[in-house]
A and B are shown apart, each in its own frame.
Chain A
């Protein structure tokens, strides 16, 4: 009986929990996805990656103290790029890859004092 009531309560809560956002275009022309409880936008150009950090309400987060590592699969080759803070809310890094259509990247972001979180990007495939 208690279980049924709890289930009922859970159901009343359910409509508030909407679906997570799909990958979308960010303000800097990259792809923005959810990363942990925050949002991140990845911009790839040539052999450079830039990762813009936002909180859940899309307000920029300071990149100071944050580290990130990106695994990139482009042109049938895999590369690992370390990203370091290079601006207010930007982490950047260069690596042995060439941004092209079909490129996939998995970014592992570690914010100061937080557990590493991962997100998958397809920065060159949108629209």
Chain B
């Protein structure tokens, strides 16, 4: 009931409240504040620079300077600070694109007007900002005592070192003044040096004490180190009650965050197809046996996977195998031919001896007959003794090996596949043939995110499994691809769509599963904008709704901002 009442009052108060903080259709000072737990901070930007000033727990003013449009850190710039008209001097560079200013003036509580004069190369700019310094000094941090010590330690390192030295000295004196163990009453062995009978027993602890000093120093250094590292104010990124996300500049630097302006553009409409890598039929080959037989390796052995082979290279031999009946038949005909050859040879010899008596035509006939018989024998012989060489039909790499020495293979059995890795194609299946009637360009992305440039080769005219096959050539070469690898093919059509072109990395999924981009309305604040996107190619997307032009959008590191809880 109370809640309802509260809601009602708030709603009723809305029109009344309106003139209080806004007038003439606009308002002043309605920028949402950073989380209450964060260190006091101020920010300012121009079209060139963006600066965030954070009053750290060490009471120093930490300055983070970036390019406004891209959020790229600016290193080695000169930042001159003035506070309420009083010149505080130039901030020193603390680390990459981080500047620090130590001046007691920044600790004065109240609303402080800061003016930064920034010089980075050729660019100069003036930026005003207002820093609200909390009244209570302890409110600067949750741990006031440690911060007090820390700030003193950081400001007066010599004092700190002197204190440590005094402590160590005290420890040393204490140890030296401690009662020593009494010398043993019975000396087991008479010492060789009679004048120093107790040199050995007290000498060993002394050495230990000397060795302990560096250890104590190292321990002190280790204890001091986190305090030094903590000097830079580290506020945790967090989700704010209004749904925006607060990411302080140091965290942004860690995430490598970059932004870009949302510019209206036009891009051609693309269609997503599933495809796979196939071998170019003109630059690949499949080695098959033409007849059944037993396979034998060539002299250097069978080619292995990934081996480069030249066209015409012998990859193996097939020894034809025959049924016993067939073999007997061939042997019988060879034997018959042998006997006929013997007869024909004798006849040719006889006729040649009787040259002049026998007609020349008869001699020629006998010779032709002998030659014919010999050829028939030669043709029959390989059937029982010969072997068929298997040659590579094209140059490339061996991608499949299906043979083992001595294996009996059937005719037409594939033995090797040869693929030229420089000439691969992509085959895509379009289930809407009308959508890909015109193809003006194409690209593909592998599951691993590798982008491939494609050239359109052709489209089939017959549906295969209800889909129309399209062939694309992979251009520009791509390493690490394998035949059969699935890819997502993006086919560009001549149709155009207007929208905001962003890198694909800028669009992330929110916990509800919707697609969002992160807008950066101010230096450390991010707003999730649900958008409607169309993929353009592997790297870019087209935002067609949900984003206004001119907005500063996170282009790199958006996925990490989405993780902030």
A residues with CB within 8 A of B: 1-3, 5-10, 12-13, 16-21, 34, 36-37, 56-58, 69, 71-73, 76, 78, 80, 104-106, 108, 115-120
Contacts and interface: CB of A to CB of B under 8 A. Distances in A.
A16 B19 CA distance: 10
B266 interface: no
Given A16-B14, A17-B21, A120-B128, A115 B30 contact: no
Nearest to B119: A76
B510 to A, nearest CB: 17
6 contacts: A3-B241, A9-B10, A19-B26, A71-B117, A104-B46, A104-B124
Contacts of B14: 12-13, 16
Nearest to B129: A118
* Those 5 A-B pairs whose CB atoms lie nearest each other, nearest first: A118-B128, A9-B10, A56-B23, A106-B128, A104-B126
A11 to B, nearest CB: 9
A56 B28 contact: yes
A47 B205 CA distance: 80
B464 interface: no
A54 to B, nearest CB: 11
Determine the main DSSP class of B at the interface with A.
mixed
Contact of A120 (B23, B28, B82, B126): B126
B82 A71 contact: yes
A9 B7 contact: yes
Determine the main DSSP class of A at the interface with B.
mixed
Nearest to A122: B46
Nearest to B125: A104
Contacts of B113: 108, 116-118
Given A12-B14, A71-B117, 17 more contacts: A9-B7, A12-B10, A13-B14, A13-B17, A18-B22, A18-B26, A20-B26, A20-B28, A21-B26, A36-B28, A73-B117, A73-B124, A106-B128, A108-B115, A117-B130, A118-B115, A120-B46
A26 to B, nearest CB: 15
A1 B1 CA distance: 12
B29 interface: yes
Contacts of B242: 7, 10
B28 A57 contact: no
A74 B85 CA distance: 18
A1 to B, nearest CB: 7
B126 A1 contact: no
A115 B22 CA distance: 19
B115 A18 contact: no
Given A2-B3, A3-B241, A115-B111, A18 B25 contact: yes
A69 B6 CA distance: 45
Interface of B: 3, 6-7, 10-11, 14-15, 17-18, 21-30, 44, 46, 82, 84-85, 111, 113, 115, 117, 124-130, 241-242
B126 A13 contact: no
A58 B84 CA distance: 27
Nearest to A78: B117
A87 B6 CA distance: 49
A17 B124 contact: no
Given A5-B6, A13-B10, A116-B84, A71 B126 contact: yes
B128 A119 contact: yes
Contacts of A120: 44, 46, 126-128
Nearest to A14: B242
A17 B23 contact: no
B7 A8 contact: yes
B29 A37 contact: yes
Contact of B28 (A5, A8, A34, A115): A34
A76 B24 contact: no
A58 B11 CA distance: 29
A58 B25 CA distance: 12
A2 B124 CA distance: 49
Contacts of A115: 111
Contacts of A80: 85
A127 to B, nearest CB: 15
B28 A106 contact: no
B124 A71 contact: no
Contacts of B124: 73, 76, 104
Contact of B27 (A5, A20, A108): A20
Contacts of A34: 28
Nearest to A34: B28
Nearest to B18: A16
Best-surrounded residue of B17, B18, B126 (most CB of chain A within 10 A): B126
Nearest to B44: A120
Best-surrounded residue of A8, A16, A36 (most CB of chain B within 10 A): A16
B241 A7 contact: yes
